[in-house]
Structure formats: structure tokens, C-alpha cells
């Protein structure tokens, strides 16, 4: 055997140091070879069989218990219950019902606990970290599960509400899910849209225009600024970025009033620009863009410089294609905020108002509109959530570099 083959033979498959030590110990014969662990598929099969057996027991127990209950209900005087099962005939004392109820309760507990155990075993990554206790994992998963249900409940509630016919909104006790689900609320909404003062499509076009132009300009302007801030060291750059970071805290509320005055001086009130231009300069976009451009290797840009590319060309053909996740992310953040703008303070002409504003007006129509309002709620809610689900892997990639260094 050549030397190469020997090294190949004893080469460990891992670079993990703890496992490496373990592997060396095995080679020296200090630790015995571990038995291979059960595969996930086999574990799932065994768990399912055990659960099925337990479930059968539960059904049988339930059957007997309810049988005894019925017997007692029919002849209250009886002391014993005749049981006929296949070809076994025997009598049971009526007192045993409490035992059966107790067994039933115990079985339910066992099934729930075992089910949880099996699910956790299946969820856990194949190679567990060595310093994790099983009970800690169990507690964390339980807590995650409970909190996740609490978080999602109001959202489910509003989706369920939009499917309720009007009379089910006012029943006691109220239910979360409708007993007769209909799409009436959505069709009513379409009817109401048809009756609005300006054609409803106008609102939609307004919002789409604002969102498209605002997002496009924001991406271009913010990434141009981010490019020089991240890749060049020039006087004033660091200070400027520091101001932008502080501006992450300027919410629309703090700047709302002077902004109104400034816009009215510039004659922008009651035009789309009053919404679009501030959106161009949103600090969060510049911030995220700069942080993710920072991770690009500087050598790439220096090489392009040596080849004689202009700054703009470097920006457009080298940097921009390499930060695709970042611009997807800022597109999404920008779309989300523009889609949700109500803009009631800066736009007065009815035909220039946004979709969210018009839907809000429909929603404000009182008790008779309860169902339609719920439908509106679902539509407004689903758009940003869908966008997020479709793009979440890119967003998370960008957010990985979102940290603030002090």
C-alpha cells in the first residue's frame, strides 16, 4: 500500500476539533468504536408504530369506559357489567370505571409526551452540539411553540374573520373560525370599490406609481452613496455616515411638522413628490447597502482601477451585480413602507390618494361594514407578508452584515 493510500485510509472526515480528538483516541484504541446511530427514517417508523399501539389502547379503553357509563345510565342499580368481547364473556364490577378513566387519562398523557419526544428527536440536527442538555432543548422547543402560537393567533384571527358572514360576527360565545365560511366579504368589497367617487383602479395606480418610482430612485441614489462611503476613504465620509446612523432614529413623527412646512415652501404639497422624495433618502437603505458593500474585497476594485475603469463603471458593472441580496432587501423595505403610506397629511386631491387610504375609508364605514373591513385588513396584510416570504433568504443574507460598529 502506498503512503498516499494509507493517509487516505485513516483520514478523518471532519475538521471539527473535538471530533478529531475523539477520532485520534479511537485510532489509539482508547475508545471503542461507537455503534452507528439509528437513522431518522427508522426512528420515525418505530415512533409511529409505538404511537399507533398506544392509540389503539386508548380507543379500546375509551370504548370500555363509555360502555360501562352507558350500562350504568341504563340500569343504575347494577353492580356488575357483562362484557362480551369476541369469544370472551366475563363480568366486571361497576367500580372499575374509575380505573378505566384513570388509565385513559394516563394514556393520553403518555401519548402527548411521547409524541413531543419523537418530534423533538426528529427536529434535532444530526450532529448535536456536545454541551446541550435534552431537557433544555425540550423546554426551549415548548416555549417557542407556545409563543409562536400566540404570535400567529391574531393574524389567523383576522383571516378567519374575513371569511365570516356578518351574523357570525355577533354571536355569543364568539368563535375564532367561521362555521359557514364564505367569500361574501371579498365580493362585497369589489362591489363597494365599484361605487367609489373616482374609479378604484386610480388608487391602485397611484400606489403602484409611488412605490415603483420611490423604490427605483431610492435603490440607485442610496447605493451610489453607499459605494463611495464603503470603498473610499475621503474626508468627511465617516462623519456623514455617523449622521446617517443617528438618522435611523428620526421617525416620520419627529420630522413630520417641519417637513410639512419645507414641502409647502417648495410647492410639493398635494403632489406625489411629497411622498417619493423623502423615500429616496431613507437612511435604512443607505445603511444596509453600505454594510454589505463593505464585505466586498477591495482588491476587486483596485484591479478594475488598474485596468482603467472609471468610478461609475466600477460601481455599475462590478459592485452592483455583487450585492444583489442587498438591493433586493432595500427594495423590499422600501416597497413595504411605500405600500403602507397613507399620506393623508400631504395629499388632498381625491384622485391622487393611495390605495391604503381608500381601503381605510371603506373600513371606517361602521358596523355594517365589519365583514368588509376584515376583508380589507387581510388584503393589506397579505401583500407585505407574501413579499417577505418570497424574498426572506436574500433579506437574511443582507441582514447578516447589518451590525453597527462603534
Partner 1 sequence: MQSSTSYWAIKKENLRYGWAKAKRMKVCYLFLLPYTVLFFTFFILPICTSIYYSFTYYNILEAPRFIGFQNYINLVLQDEVFLTAVRNTFVIAVITGPIGYILSFLFAWFINELPRWLRTIAVVVFYAPSIAGGAYTVFSIIFRGDAYGWLNAILLQFGLVDAPLLFLLDPRYIMTVIIIVTLWMSMGAGFLSFVAGLQGVDRSLYEAGYVDGIRNRWQELYFITLPSMKPMLLFGAVMSITSAFNVSDVPRALAGYPSTDYAARTIVTHLFDYGFSRFEMGYASAIATVLFLVMILCNKAIQAMLRKVGT
Residue 342 · residue 230 · CB < 8 Å: no
Which one, 101 or 228, has the nearer CB to partner 1?
228
Which one, 1 or 151, has the nearer CB to partner 1?
151
Which stretch, 14-22, 43-51, 94-102, 105-113, contacts partner 1 (CB under 8 A)?
14-22
31 binds partner 1 (CB under 8 A): no
Binding mask 166-185 for partner 1 (x = CB under 8 A): ---xxxxxx-x---------
Minimum CB–partner distance for residue 298 and partner 1 (Å): 15
- Which contiguous run of DSSP H or E holds residue 212? helix 200-231
Minimum CB–partner distance for residue 14 and partner 1 (Å): 10
| Spatial distance between the Cα atoms of 212 and 201, rounded to a whole number of angstroms | 16
| Spatial distance between the Cα atoms of 220 and 240, rounded to a whole number of angstroms | 18
Size of site (CB under 8 A) for partner 1: 100
Among 64, 68, 97, 161, binds partner 1 (CB under 8 A): 161
Cβ atoms within 10 Å of 141's Cβ, excluding its own: 15
355 binds partner 1 (CB under 8 A): no
**Dihedral over Cα of 254, 260, 262, 266: its sign:** positive
Which one, 70 or 310, has the nearer CB to partner 1?
310
Q: Which of residues 320-349 bind partner 1 (CB under 8 A)?
A: 333, 336, 339-340, 345
Residue 240: Cβ-neighbour burial (10 angstroms; 0-12, 13-18, 19+): middle
304 binds partner 1 (CB under 8 A): no
Minimum CB–partner distance for residue 377 and partner 1 (Å): 6
Among 280, 326, 328, 362, binds partner 1 (CB under 8 A): 280
Which one, 337 or 352, has the nearer CB to partner 1?
337
Long-range contacts of 118-123 (CB under 8 A, 24+ apart): 118/43, 118/44, 118/47, 118/51, 121/43, 121/47, 122/40, 122/43, 122/44, 122/47
284 binds partner 1 (CB under 8 A): yes
| Spatial distance between the Cα atoms of 329 and 290, rounded to a whole number of angstroms | 12
Among 26, 196, 322, 377, binds partner 1 (CB under 8 A): 377
Minimum CB–partner distance for residue 243 and partner 1 (Å): 7
**Dihedral over Cα of 323, 304, 217, 290: its sign:** positive
**Dihedral over Cα of 137, 141, 147, 151: its sign:** positive
Q: Which of residues 242-261 bind partner 1 (CB under 8 A)?
A: 243-251, 253-259, 261
Grid cell listed for 212? 415603483
Assign 3-state DSSP to the chain and report helix, strand, coil percentages, each to 5.
Answer: 70, 5, 25
Which stretch, 3-11, 88-96, 104-112, 233-241, contacts partner 1 (CB under 8 A)?
233-241
Residue 208: Cβ-neighbour burial (10 angstroms; 0-12, 13-18, 19+): middle
Binding mask 118-157 for partner 1 (x = CB under 8 A): -----x-x---xxxxx--x---x--xx--xx-xxx-xx-x
Which one, 272 or 315, has the nearer CB to partner 1?
315
Query: What stretches of 124-179 show up as alpha helix (H) in DSSP?
Result: 134-162, 166-169
Minimum CB–partner distance for residue 192 and partner 1 (Å): 18
Which one, 173 or 308, has the nearer CB to partner 1?
173
Which one, 53 or 257, has the nearer CB to partner 1?
257
- Rg, C-alpha atoms of the chain: 33
Minimum CB–partner distance for residue 2 and partner 1 (Å): 32
Minimum CB–partner distance for residue 88 and partner 1 (Å): 44
405 binds partner 1 (CB under 8 A): yes
Which one, 98 or 246, has the nearer CB to partner 1?
246
Residue with cell 432595500: 330
- Residue 201 C-alpha from the chain's centroid: 30
Dihedral-angle region of residue 352 (phi above 0 means left; psi in -120 to 50 means alpha; beta otherwise): alpha
Which one, 91 or 233, has the nearer CB to partner 1?
233
Binding mask 202-231 for partner 1 (x = CB under 8 A): -------------------xx-xx-xxx--
- Residue 374 C-alpha from the chain's centroid: 22
Minimum CB–partner distance for residue 122 and partner 1 (Å): 9
Residue 266 · residue 346 · CB < 8 Å: no
Amino acid at each position: 500500500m502506498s503512503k498516499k493510500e494509507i493517509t487516505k485510509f485513516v483520514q478523518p472526515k471532519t475538521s471539527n476539533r473535538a471530533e478529531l480528538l475523539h477520532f485520534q483516541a479511537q485510532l489509539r484504541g482508547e475508545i471503542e468504536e461507537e455503534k452507528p446511530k439509528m437513522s431518522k427514517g427508522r426512528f420515525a417508523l418505530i415512533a409511529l408504530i409505538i404511537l399507533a399501539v398506544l392509540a389503539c389502547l386508548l380507543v379500546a379503553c375509551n370504548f370500555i369506559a363509555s360502555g360501562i357509563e352507558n350500562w350504568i345510565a341504563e340500569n343504575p342499580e347494577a353492580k356488575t357489567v357483562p362484557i362480551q368481547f369476541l369469544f370472551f364473556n366475563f363480568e366486571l364490577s361497576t367500580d372499575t370505571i374509575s380505573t378505566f378513566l384513570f388509565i385513559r387519562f394516563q394514556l393520553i398523557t403518555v401519548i402527548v409526551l411521547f409524541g413531543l419526544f419523537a418530534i423533538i428527536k426528529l427536529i434535532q440536527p444530526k450532529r448535536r452540539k456536545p454541551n446541550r442538555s435534552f431537557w433544555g432543548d425540550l423546554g426551549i422547543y415548548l416555549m417557542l411553540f407556545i409563543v409562536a402560537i400566540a404570535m400567529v393567533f391574531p393574524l389567523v384571527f383576522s383571516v378567519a374573520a374575513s371569511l365570516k358572514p356578518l351574523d357570525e360576527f355577533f354571536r355569543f360565545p364568539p368563535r375564532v373560525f367561521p362555521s359557514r365560511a364564505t367569500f361574501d366579504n371579498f365580493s362585497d368589497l369589489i362591489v363597494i370599490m365599484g361605487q367609489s367617487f373616482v374609479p378604484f383602479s386610480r388608487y391602485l395606480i397611484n400606489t403602484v406609481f409611488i412605490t415603483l418610482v420611490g423604490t427605483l430612485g431610492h435603490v440607485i441614489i442610496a447605493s451610489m452613496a453607499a459605494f463611495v462611503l464603503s470603498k473610499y476613504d475621503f474626508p468627511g465620509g465617516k462623519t456623514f455616515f455617523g449622521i446617517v446612523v443617528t438618522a435611523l432614529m428620526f421617525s416620520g413623527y419627529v420630522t413630520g411638522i417641519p417637513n410639512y412646512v419645507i414641502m409647502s415652501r417648495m410647492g410639493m404639497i398635494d403632489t406625489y413628490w411629497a411622498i417619493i422624495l423623502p423615500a429616496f433618502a431613507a437612511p435604512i437603505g443607505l445603511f444596509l447597502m453600505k454594510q454589505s458593500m463593505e464585505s466586498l474585497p477591495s482588491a476587486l476594485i483596485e484591479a478594475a482601477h488598474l485596468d482603467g475603469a472609471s468610478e461609475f463603471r466600477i460601481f455599475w458593472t462590478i459592485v452592483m451585480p455583487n450585492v444583489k441580496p442587498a438591493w433586493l432587501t432595500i427594495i423590499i423595505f422600501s416597497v413595504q413602507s411605500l405600500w403602507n403610506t397613507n399620506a393623508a397629511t400631504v395629499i388632498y386631491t381625491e384622485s391622487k390618494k393611495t390605495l391604503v387610504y381608500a381601503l381605510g375609508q371603506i373600513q371606517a364605514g361602521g358596523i355594517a361594514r365589519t365583514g368588509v373591513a376584515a376583508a380589507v385588513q387581510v388584503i393589506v396584510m397579505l401583500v407585505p407578508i407574501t413579499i417577505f416570504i418570497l424574498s426572506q433568504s436574500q433579506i437574511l443574507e443582507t441582514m447578516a452584515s447589518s451590525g453597527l460598529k462603534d
